[in-house]
Amino acid sequence: MNRLTTFLLAFALPFLAGAQEHFVFSPQSNAQAQFAGYYAALEKGFYAEEGLDVEILHPFATSYALDNIREGNCQAITLPLTLAMRTIATDIPLVNILQTSMNSATVIISRWGDDPLTLHGAKVTAFRAGFGQSARSFAEMLGLDYEWITSASEVNLFIAGAVDATLGRSFDEYYRILQTGIDIPEKAIYRFEKGEFNIQQEGVYVTREYYETHKEQAEAFARASRRGWEWVAENREAALDIVMRYTKELHVATNRTLQQLMLEEVLRLQLDPDSGQRSFQIRPDMVEKANQILLQAGVLTKDPVKMEDIRP
Amino acid sequence: MRRILDKIRRSLSARLSIWVVLFSAIILLGTLGYSAHVSRNYVRMEAIKRASQVLDNSVLRLANILEDVELAANNLEWLVYRNLETPERMADYTRSIVEGTPSLSGCSISFEPDYYPGQRYYSIYSGRVEDDSITTIQEGNDNYQYWYLGWYQLPKLLRQPCWTEPYSDWEQDDAADLQTQMLVSYCKPLTAGDGSYIGTISLDISLKWLSETLASVQPYPHSYVVLVSRGGTYLVHPDPDKLFYETVFTPTLTGQEPALEALGRSMVGLEEGIRTLEIDGQKSYVFYTPLKSTGWSMGIVCPERDIFGGFKRLRRLVIGLGLLGLLLMFLVCFRVIRKTLRPLSNLAVQAGNIADGHFDTALPETPREDEIGTLTRSFSHMQSSLVSYIDELQRTTAKRERIEGELQVARNIQQGLIPRTFPTRADIDLYGEMIPAKEVGGDLYDFFLQNGRLYFCIGDVSGKGVPASLLMAMTRTVFRVAVQKAPAVTDIARELNEALSADNEQLMFVTMFLGVIDLKTGEMNYCNCGHNPPAVLHADGKASFVEGEPNVPLGVEPAYVFRGGVVHDVRGIPFLIYTDGLNEAENADHEPFGNDRLLEVMGSAPYQDAAEMIVRLNEAVKAHVAGAEASDDLTMMCIRIRKP
């Protein structure tokens, strides 16, 4: 986009806003670099260029983004693939319109330095908003009788030693724990990315009903979001500035260092493990793995979720 | 710069002053350095003492605050247990606890979901708002499921009272004025008699309030208090961007900060200590101590410039004063030394004048008895001695110049005795030269024509200088007279011998070769009186000596009968007669010119005339002696009689 176009858009957008489609997007947790691509798309006018008046609605710490879409408070949410598949199979028909993560960020971190996969009967915290679905299923599959402690403050419980391990993400909780000065040896971390069940996580979902009635808007949102992520990958410092504005406005307990590390890791996880490219596509082999783990854990009781059920 | 160095080099006063100042500076610096070291240690110990006191006071103050909170929590717990059956009274309890505990920003009593039948959420919260009034709300709802939050879960999991990590209670969207609160809470578990969990009591302290309360403690102007939680999060920090948002370990995530990391580990490890490290670009001391009941650690950060600011200012002042003192010392030393040495300077100037020839320059009178006075008097004595010596020298020089003048006259006279005009007749080719070694010489040569005959002689008087020259003059006169009296060469020799032997008390003598040539016949009669044999240049270009009848030198033996020799025809044969100043002329290595070389030079080129032969020999001698001083007179004469 050249400067003239940007200039005209800056003036024209306020007048055009009335004519744009209001579109509410609810990421699955609080403001952070995990959602930098959406903030950038909004800030840089990519959504407006697609004719969308996007509002980003962060959920509360103890509420689900899924609830927002279920209750009609938003048109799109982000969800990890396994949770999305469970939701599609058991709850609401959702449609993936953009897949941002190509790898699993999920980690299990042991508080006392032991291998997490040897902690039978341990108290393990899991974030309530749902990225732990694959881990829970994986633990079920391995027969690890974890006592799951659902929490919105899993790192604090971990620091206080109130739990034996915590589920986390390599771009978030992992760094937040490191930031407390707790020494975490590598053997105390189980990284799903390195294991058998490296399953894609974050993707953007709309309800099937919305997709069928507002296909253009849904795909416009996906296009602009993808553009936002590509811009972030090329303009990391500027993207970080945008992220920090959001975190400050919402009083998120974070800092630029944490967000910088998070952004780098999120962008790394967006690279396809085989091609090394940012493809933004769901991989059928990962869907198959997700089905396998969900079926074995008993989360899916009937048929596996088909690819066309996720991505029309 | 070079000019200044030159001035210093030329000024004894400046050099002495510099040495004095340098030595003083070394002593001063050593003293200052030692006292600075001792003072710095003292200041450091004082700082440690002061900071430790402030830290202890701050810890005590914080402990009092926390104790109040824990006491309030115990009271609330007691009330809750006594009134579990009347939940509607919980609001009064939370409000009264907040009212009665100024350090609290809020207080809540929260129960497990559905603890009270038909009420999934039961969490009563009372909190202060901006105007310090207290608002009470029921804060549980679908968006705020409090039992998933850390402050609720922590005592539930630990089953004991505990302090939480700091958190932001921003979810309370129905209490907008509370949304930005950053809190830390003291939480107590509520359990039933069967051990089942009932709920959590939470008493909150605002981090902002805590920071403001403890920030007033400042042992130094730029020092500040920090309080870090069990997880290293700043519970108290003057920088709002760090308070709650960062931990002490945050900078270590992306950079190498070993000192900060070590400090953080020591603090969260609940150790007590003092560390120095760079914080925000300036070296700082951190004094820290734990609050073990909470798992927190309190520290005071004191920039080094604060602790040592006064000391450094004093040090700069002392160094400044020291430098000023050294400068003054230099000026005073310079002035005193220059005044002390001024007679020396004057003496140096007067000595310069004397050296320039002004021997009458008056030296300053000095009453001083020290080395300078002694030197001045000695110099004065030296001046008078010098003047006497110079006068004597002048007289001697004048005398010598007069003698030299007289000698020059004598030389002229002697040279006048030697014939300088040579025959221009076609049948006579004759040339001679005498070079005395001193002003006057003892050599002679002479020739003259009389009655178709050429009379000639060459002689060498024993000794040198004036006596020899006088005898030479007399010999030449006697030769001329003797020729008139006795034309035969042996008779002439006898006449000369008689004249020179008479009254010869000095035992001087003369060697002489004398001869006469009949120009018509070419016959030559000669008599060699103890002299060098003549050298003859033959027609084949080779030269040789002609040994004749030997005789004693003239003046040695009176009545000696001289024997002569004859050459029947010398016409066309060049021959050389000479004194030993030729063949014995020495170079610097005392090597004589030699007879062989004499003959060699004579035959070295075709004969042109007598003058050319003399010139050639002269140049050869000059080349041989190569500038060495002549030790003897050099006299040569070459004769060739041409046939008609």
- Summarize the confidence of residues B160-178 as an average pLDDT: 68
Q: In this structure, is residue B16 part of a structural domain?
A: no
User: Are B297 and B434 part of one and the same domain?
Assistant: no
User: Are B297 and B436 part of one and the same domain?
Assistant: no
Contact B144 A151 (CB under 8 A): no
Please identify, among B270, B285, B307, the residue that sits at the C-terminal boundary of a domain.
B307
pLDDT at B263: 95
- Summarize the confidence of residues A105-109 as an average pLDDT: 93
pLDDT band of B221, cuts 50, 70, 90: confident
B253 contact residues in A (CB cutoff 8 A): 175, 178-179, 257-258, 261
Which domains does chain A carry? 21-103+200-310 (3.40.190.10), 106-194 (3.40.190.10)
Q: CA A176, CA A258: separation in Å to the nearest integer?
A: 7
A181 contact residues in B (CB cutoff 8 A): 231-232, 247-249, 261, 264-265, 268
Q: In this structure, is residue B11 part of a structural domain?
A: no
pLDDT band of B175, cuts 50, 70, 90: very low
Nearest CA in chain A to B294: A160
B253 closest CB neighbour out of A162, A175, A250 = A175
Of A98, A107, A121, A88, which is closest to residue A27 (Cα–Cα)?
A98
State the CB neighbour count (10 A cutoff) for residue B554. 32
> What is the phi-psi region of residue B97: left when phi exceeds 0, alpha when psi lies from -120 to 50, beta otherwise?
alpha
Please identify, among B258, B274, B307, the residue that sits at the C-terminal boundary of a domain.
B307
By three-state DSSP, how is residue B518 classified?
strand
Of B496, B428, B486, B427, which is closest to residue B457 (Cα–Cα)?
B496
Q: How does the average pLDDT of chain B come out, rounded?
A: 88
**B334 in reach of chain A (CB within 8 A):** no
Chain A to chain B Cβ contacts (< 8 Å): 120
Side-chain-side CA neighbours of A40 within 13 Å: the count stands at: 26
Contact B232 A181 (CB under 8 A): yes
ipTM given for this complex: 0.86
Q: B453: part of which helix (H) or strand (E)? A: strand B453-461
Strands (E), B497-542: 510-518, 524-529, 535-537
Query: What proportion of chain B, given as a percentage, has pLDDT over 70?
Result: 98
* A8, pLDDT greater than 50: no
pLDDT at B52: 86
**Helix B465-485 crosses helix B489-501 at what angle (to 10 degrees)?**
140
Residues 6+ apart with CB under 8 A from B76: B93, B94, B97, B107, B109, B188, B201, B203
Least confident of A122-126, A183-187, A233-237, B132-136: B132-136
Of B126, B103, B301, which is closest to residue B209 (Cα–Cα)?
B103
Q: CA B529, CA B532: separation in Å to the nearest integer?
A: 9
- Note if the pTM is more than 0.80: no
* Token pair of B111 as six digits: 């129960």
User: Are B135 and B264 part of one and the same domain?
Assistant: yes
* Token pair of B561 as six digits: 């009968």
pLDDT band of B384, cuts 50, 70, 90: confident
A260 closest CB neighbour out of B170, B249, B254 = B254
Higher pLDDT, A188 or B368: A188
B166 contact residues in A (CB cutoff 8 A): 253
Nearest C-alpha of chain A: how many angstroms from B91? 23
Q: In this structure, is residue B227 part of a structural domain?
A: yes
pLDDT at B275: 93
CATH code: domain of residue B501: 3.60.40.10
Please identify, among B287, B307, B327, the residue that sits at the C-terminal boundary of a domain.
B307
Instruction: Report yes or no: B515 and B527 within 8 Å, Cβ to Cβ.
Output: yes
Q: CA B508, CA A153: separation in Å to the nearest integer?
A: 142
Radius of gyration of chain B (CA): 65
pLDDT at A10: 43
* A1, pLDDT greater than 50: no
Q: Which residue range(s) make up the domain with B262?
A: 59-307
CATH code: domain of residue B163: 3.30.450.20
Sign of CA dihedral A262, A268, A272, A273: negative
pLDDT band of A171, cuts 50, 70, 90: very high
A57-61, B35-39, B559-563: range with highest mean pLDDT? B559-563
* B460, pLDDT greater than 60: yes
Please give the DSSP secondary-structure letter assigned to residue B480: H
Nearest C-alpha of chain B: how many angstroms from A215? 30
Higher pLDDT, B382 or A307: A307
Nearest C-alpha of chain B: how many angstroms from A304? 32
Tell which B residues from 217 to 236 touch A, by Cβ distance under 8 Å: 230-233
Q: In this structure, is residue B558 part of a structural domain?
A: yes
User: Are B118 and B239 part of one and the same domain?
Assistant: yes
| Alpha-carbon separation of residue B100 from A216, B65, B105, B110, B175 (angstroms) | 60, 13, 11, 20, 21
Q: CA B606, CA B539: separation in Å to the nearest integer?
A: 10
DSSP codes of every residue in B378-403: HHHHHHHHHHHHHHHHHHHHHHHHHH
Q: In this structure, is residue B112 part of a structural domain?
A: yes
Instruction: Report yes or no: B161 and B70 within 8 Å, Cβ to Cβ.
Output: yes
Nearest C-alpha of chain A: how many angstroms from B250? 6
Q: CA A278, CA A284: separation in Å to the nearest integer?
A: 16
User: Are B300 and B422 part of one and the same domain?
Assistant: no
* B498, pLDDT greater than 50: yes
- Summarize the confidence of residues B21-35 as an average pLDDT: 87
Domain count of the fold of chain B: 2
Main-chain phi, psi angles of A184, to 5 degrees: -110, 105
Tell which B residues from 170 to 199 touch A, by Cβ distance under 8 Å: 170-171, 173, 179-180, 182
A257 closest CB neighbour out of B146, B164, B250 = B250
Nearest CA in chain A to B147: A151
- Summarize the confidence of residues B544-571 as an average pLDDT: 90
Q: B2: part of which helix (H) or strand (E)? A: helix B2-10
- Summarize the confidence of residues B431-460 as an average pLDDT: 89
By three-state DSSP, how is residue A217 classified?
helix
Q: In this structure, is residue B28 part of a structural domain?
A: no
